[in-house]
Amino acid sequence: MKEIIPLTFNVKDLEEQARTDGLACYILGRSYDSGENGVDQDLEKAVYWYEEGARKNDPRAIYGLAACYDFGDGVEQDKKKAYELFVDAYPKLLNLMEEEQRNPERQAFSIFCLGAYYYFGFGDVIEDKTKAFELINDAAEKGHIAAIYDLGANFYYTGTGTNQDLEKSRYYLELAASYNLPRAKSKLLEYQDTYQKKRQIMIKAIIYQSKTGHTKEYAETLSKELKIPCYSVSDAKEKINKKEEIIYLSWIRATTLVGYKKINKKYQIICLGAVGAYPKSKEYIKQLKEYNHITQELFYFRGGINYEKLNKFYQKLLKLVGKAITMENPRDKEMTRLFENGGNFVNKKHLKPMIDYIKGVTNV
C-alpha cells in the first residue's frame, strides 16, 4: 500500500490563519466536530467555525455547516436549510478542487467533502458508494486523517463501495490511531473480535455442485488461485468433516441455488458462488439471496448453456424459457442466441470479487 503521512494541525495556528483563510475555519470546525487535532468534541464550537468559514464563502465550511443542520449537530435539525447549503456548496467545491490541483494537501479537504456527498446523497447528488470510496481513498492518500479513518471504519470493514478487506481496515484504523485520533482507537477495540476471527478462519475446501461443467470449471480455477482443494459434493462426503469451513459453488435452477440448504446445514459456509446463464445484475443477486434465504456473502458468476450435457427434459425446458424470453424482449439477441444454440461465458476474471473477499476475511 502507498505510504501515507496523515495531516495534523496546531489549533492555535489554525485560529490565527482563520482570520483570512476559509480552509482554516473548516479544519477548526472539523476538529471540534469529530475530536481531531488534539481537541475534545464540541459541536457548538464546530458550528461557530463552520459559520466563520461560510462567511468567507469557503465551500468546505458551507458543506460542514450543511452537515450540522442535516444531522442536528450543534444546531436544531433543519433538513431544508441543510439541502439549500449543500446545493450552494457543491459547484463551488468542484471548482475549488480544480483550482487546487497543484496543492494536494488543500485539495484533500475538497475531495473528502465531495466523497461525503456521494456517500450520503447530499443535496441533488445521487448516492453512489463506489464513487464515494474512490474520492475518500484519494483524500486519504493525500493525508486527510478523517478519510483514513473512514477507509478503515466504514469502507474496507463492511465492503461498502469496494471489496471487504479486514487487513486494510485494520491498517487504516491503526494509522489513524497512531496519530491520536480517539475514534480510531475506539473502533480498533470494537472491531478486535472480528479481526481476531479473521485470523482463525481456516477454509478446508471448495465444494461444488455442477450440472454441465461450468460450475466445476469455476471451482477448479478458484482452487488453483487460492491453493485450496476442491471437491464435488459427492467426493466431499468422504473428504470433509461436518462443520468444517468451506466455500460452496453451485448452479442455479430457476431461482434455486441447488444444494444450498443441505450444504448449509452440514458445513460452515464462508461465502457462496452461484453460476447461471443470465448476465450479472444487482437485482438478480438480491433475488437469489432472498429466495434461497442466504445469509452468507453471495457472488454470481455467469456460466452458460451446454445442451450436449443436458437430458431431453432440460433441453426442452430451456428452449421454452428461451422462447418466453424472446417474446418478452425480442431485442435481446444475445439471450435469444444463448437459449437457441447454447454458449459459454465462463471467465477467470469473474472470480476476482470473490477472491478479494476471501483474502480480506481469511489468511489465504
- Residue 147's pLDDT is 96
- Residue 32's pLDDT is 95
Tens digits of residue pLDDT in 73-130: 999 999 999 999 999 999 999 999 999 989 999 999 999 999 999 999 999 999 999 9
Q: Is the pTM value of this prediction over 0.75?
A: no
Tens digits of residue pLDDT in 265-316: 999 999 999 998 878 888 889 999 999 999 899 999 988 776 777 777 766 7
* C-alpha cell read off for 100: 487546487
- Residue 318's pLDDT is 67
- Residue 338's pLDDT is 64
Interior/surface letters 329-359, b for 16+ CB within 10 angstroms, e for the rest: eeeeeebbebbeebbebbeeebbebbbebbb
| pLDDT at 324 exceeding the cut of 80 | no
C-alpha span between 69 and 286 (Å, rounded): 34
- Residue 107's pLDDT is 95
Contact 357, 198 (CB under 8 A): no
3-state secondary structure of 304: strand
CB-based contacts of 172, cutoff 8 Å, min separation 6: 140, 148, 149, 151, 152, 156
Domain locations in the chain as residue ranges: 11-197, 205-306+342-361
| Phi and psi torsions of 41, nearest 5° | -65, 130
C-alpha span between 46 and 117 (Å, rounded): 19
C-alpha span between 136 and 84 (Å, rounded): 23
C-alpha span between 356 and 143 (Å, rounded): 25
- The angle subtended at Cα 50 by Cα 47 and Cα 55, nearest 5°, is 125
- Residue 331's pLDDT is 61
- Residue 1's pLDDT is 64
3-state secondary structure of 92: helix
pLDDT band of residue 322 (cuts 50, 70, 90) is low
Contact 165, 194 (CB under 8 A): no
Long-range contacts of 223-226 (CB under 8 A, 24+ apart): 225/351, 225/355, 226/355, 226/358, 226/364
pLDDT band of residue 167 (cuts 50, 70, 90) is confident
DSSP calls for 161-227? SS---HHHHHHHHHHHHHTT-HHHHHHHHHTHHHHHHHHH----EEEEE-SSSHHHHHHHHHHHHHT
Domain 11-197 architecture: Alpha Horseshoe (1.25)
Q: Is 205-306+342-361 a domain of CATH 3.40.50.360?
A: yes
Tens digits of residue pLDDT in 27-55: 999 999 999 999 999 999 999 999 999 99
Long-range contacts of 222-227 (CB under 8 A, 24+ apart): 222/247, 222/249, 222/273, 222/351, 222/354, 222/355, 225/351, 225/355, 226/355, 226/358, 226/364, 227/364
pLDDT band of residue 172 (cuts 50, 70, 90) is very high
- Residue 283's pLDDT is 87
Contact 112, 135 (CB under 8 A): yes
| pLDDT at 327 exceeding the cut of 80 | no
Average pLDDT score over the chain: 89
| 132: number of Cβ within 10 Å | 25
Higher pLDDT, residue 191 or 311: 191
C-alpha span between 70 and 80 (Å, rounded): 8
The mean per-residue pLDDT over the stretch 319-326 comes to: 66
pLDDT band of residue 2 (cuts 50, 70, 90) is confident
| Phi and psi torsions of 234, nearest 5° | -65, -40
pLDDT > 70: what percent of the chain? 91
